[in-house]
Chain A
Amino acid sequence: MSPTAVLHSEWIKIKSLRGSIGSLAAVFLTTVAVTVLVFATVGRAEADNADAEPLFDAFYALNFGQLAAIGFGATAVSSEYVNGALRVSLSAVPRRGLFYRSKIAVVGGAALAVGLLTSFTAFLGGQAFLGQHAIGLGHTGAVSACVGGGIYLALMALLAAGLAALLRSGVAVLSVLIPFNLIVPFVIGDVAGGAAQFLPDRAGQQILREDPTGVLGGWAGLGVMALWAAAAVGAGWWAVRRRDA
């Protein structure tokens, strides 16, 4: 079968579902909206604080955008598990490896493109409100933070996509990943500082810091997050390959 044709087909599936195309757009819209809201109101006051981290703080809104990225990855895959839609998809593309690879590539590619756009827009847009406190792309680590922020969003979407294939349900993915990202780091955060820094979101966000905390550097942290995403995508592949459709 033609891999290009299958990729194209997967893209049509994503853009023709309001749930998946909507959550992809929400990655950008949420992040930018929260950035504008926060920076236009308390931006300067926060930047004036002694413990301000100008680079890391610029990506504050990514915490919200990542929820949309999780939603995107989850719906893009879980839509195949509504009422046996997967049977129709697999009768068109019976090579499950090709089917799954194409879906993951489209989810990852779309999330990366939107993620990079989001991350650069949020960084530059937020700084526009800071006047004398503003930093530019010339600031140490700013470009790698912007690129890393885009990759971070894409990896979040892939983590969700892999889990959706394993759990066959978008709701199940959200109820695993959202608490995992929002609650677990706070609960075990400073108690077990050693382990928490290897959680996907903590590790991935090291790239956004000018001075990474803990043992993981910026790219190493993103690498750890990529391992989490790879594990989820791998588990999803196992499920797609082994299970009856």
Chain B
Amino acid sequence: MTSIDVQQLTKEYGTTRAVDDLTFGVRPGQVTGFLGPNGAGKSTTLRLVLGLDRPTSGTATVGGRPYAAYEEPLRQVGALLDAQAAHGSRTARNHLLALAVSNRITPARVDEVLEETGLSAVAGRRVKTYSLGMRQRLGIAAALLGDPAVVILDEPSNGLDPEGIIWIRELLRRLAREGRTVLVSSHLMNETATFADHLVVLGRGRLLADTPMREFIASHSKPRARARTTDPVRLRAVLARAGHDLTAVDGDGDGDGSRWAVDGARAEEIGRLAAREGVPMLELADEEASLEDAYLALTASATEFTAGPSGALTVPEKPAPRQEA
């Protein structure tokens, strides 16, 4: 079992707590979405897991050991932290080759991951000629280099075109199917909803949720049903007696074409009421809540999260990179 385990992890920069007493685990065989707004501490947490930053307190382990304790870590853990990190003057192949050689991974494997990420044709070009999407693919190629049991990707869909986004989604699903531990950070809810099985949600460096995605959506969204009827006046009256409100979604709010919504009720309850009272229904269905709605509901209710004067942007996601010639 190669899990990622974070125990009471805290990281302070000066007086700012970027990560605050964080405890969670990431299990193999599923894709875990790592969510939170910019500055929530996602990237800091990932750097702590990879031993790049030193925690103020607490521990982060992969497969029960600190990352730095691995003999050849790329064979256990593959990570994409920042697609810009490959030196622009190097070719993609040389970038990957230098990484591979240090962990005694064969050069043939470099060609395999270049093929897998669709970069074979441009592998001899300097990275500075790459688009952001191509750099993301290169970063993912580097993460896959050692055929690792654990894959950690920070915002992998950044800059990818629609085709690339579908590719990364299928890649993540496949990696999880193969039994790997997959942790993917993102601030894009709709995107995350397409590949995640489990969610770890951060806000201001604290854990807000660590649950399967379906449960997360169910527990952080109110039921809502959509309906169409030939007799909205009677339906409204019937629902009012049961304590529900009928609201117009579109149409003129009158004729058969109008769509209605009932907040806080499920289709089965409304169906039963309408049948008992003989209100003709043309359409009735539960509205599936989106991950985005559930996420916004959660973050709005997390008081420590909304208490700050300027929202969530007080902690920089990454230290500003230093420039040089």
Q: Which residues does A use to contact B, with CB under 8 Å?
A: 1-2, 5-6, 8-10, 12-13, 16-19, 78-79, 81-85, 87-88, 90-95, 168-172, 244-245
Task: State whether A17 touches B87 (Cβ < 8 A).
Answer: yes
B89 contacts A18, CB within 8 Å? yes
A10–B99 CA distance with the chains assembled, in angstroms? 9
Could you tell me if A82 and B102 are in contact, using CB atoms closer than 8 angstroms? no
Q: Would you mind naming 18 contact pairs between A and B with Cβ atoms under 8 Å apart? A: A1-B71, A12-B94, A16-B98, A81-B322, A83-B82, A83-B85, A87-B85, A88-B85, A90-B52, A91-B67, A94-B50, A94-B70, A94-B73, A95-B68, A170-B325, A244-B319, A245-B52, A245-B53
Q: Are A84 and B97 in contact (CB under 8 A)?
A: no
- Over the window 52-67 of chain B, the binary record of Cβ atoms lying under 8 Å from chain A Cβ atoms (1 yes, 0 no) is 1110000000000001
Give the chain A neighbours of B97 by CB distance below 8 A. Answer: 12, 16
Assess whether A94 is in contact with B98, with CB atoms less than 8 Å apart. Answer: no
For the complex of A and B, the 8 pairs showing the least CB-CB separation, nearest first, are: A9-B102, A16-B94, A94-B68, A244-B53, A169-B324, A245-B52, A12-B98, A9-B101
Cβ of B278: which chain A residues have Cβ within 8 Å of it? none
The yes or no answer to B19 lying at the interface (CB within 8 A) is no
A79 in contact with B85 (CB, 8 Å): no
A6: which B residues are within 8 A, CB to CB?
A: 102
* Known pairs A83-B82, A83-B321, A94-B67; A19 contacts B74 (CB<8 A): no
Pairwise interchain contact A87-B99, C-beta atoms closer than 8 A: no
Q: How far is the CA of A91 from the CA of B76 in the complex (A)?
A: 11
Contact B99 A88, beta carbon cutoff 8 Å: yes
Whether B81 sits at the interface, judged by CB under 8 Å, is: yes
In the complex, the chain B residue whose C-beta lies closest to that of A84 is B85
B297 within 8 A of A: no
Output the least CB separation between B233 and chain A (Å).
63
Task: Verify A244–B322 contact, CB threshold 8 A.
Answer: no
Which residues, 21 to 72 on B, are CB-close (under 8 Å) to A? 47, 50-54, 67-68, 70-72
Taking A17-B87, A88-B142 as contacts, is the C-beta distance between A8 and B101 under 8 angstroms?
yes
Pick from B68, B82, B87, B103: contact of A87, CB below 8 A.
B82
Report the minimal beta-carbon distance from A166 to chain B, rounded to whole angstroms. 13
Closest residue of chain A to B13, judged by CB? Answer: A244
A-B interface pairs (CB < 8 A), number: 113
Set of chain A residues within 8 Å of B87, measured between Cβ atoms: 17, 79, 82-83, 85
Is the C-beta of B90 less than 8 angstroms from some C-beta in chain A?
yes
Task: Count how many chain B residues have C-beta atoms less than 8 Å from C-beta atoms of the other chain.
Answer: 42
Hey, which chain A residues are within 8 Å of B51, CB to CB? Answer: 90, 94
Q: Are A92 and B74 in contact, with the CB atoms below 8 A?
A: yes
Measured between C-beta atoms, what is the minimum distance from A226 to chain B in Å? 26
Task: Determine whether the beta carbon of A2 is less than 8 Å from that of B322.
Answer: no
Contacts of A9 in B (CB 8 A): 98-99, 101-102
Query: B104 near A: Cβ within 8 Å?
Result: yes
Choose among B50, B86, B325 the residue that contacts A171 (Cβ–Cβ < 8 A): B325
A94 to B68: give the CA distance in the assembly, Å: 5
> A2 vs B97: C-alpha distance in the bound complex, in angstroms?
16
Q: A168 contacts B102, CB within 8 Å?
A: no
Q: Whole-angstrom distance from the CB of A97 to the nearest CB of chain B?
A: 11
Bound form: Cα–Cα A169–B322 in Å: 8
Taken together as a complex, chains A and B put the C-alpha atoms of A203 and B31 apart, in Å, by 61
Say whether B81 contacts A84, CB under 8 Å: yes
Q: Say yes or no for B91: interface residue by CB 8 A criterion.
A: yes
B314 CB-CB contact with A under 8 Å: no
Give bound CA distance, A83 to B127, whole Å.
Answer: 13
> What would 16 more interface pairs be, CB under 8 Å, given A12-B98, A91-B52?
A1-B102, A5-B103, A9-B101, A9-B102, A16-B90, A16-B94, A17-B87, A79-B89, A84-B85, A84-B321, A85-B87, A91-B79, A92-B74, A94-B68, A171-B324, A172-B324
Q: Report whether B47 and A245 are in contact in the complex, using a CB–CB cutoff of 8 Å.
A: yes
Q: How far is the CB of B246 from chain A (nearest CB, A)?
A: 54
The interface residues of chain A lying within 8 Å CB-to-CB of B82 are 83-84, 87
B131 close to A (CB within 8 Å): no
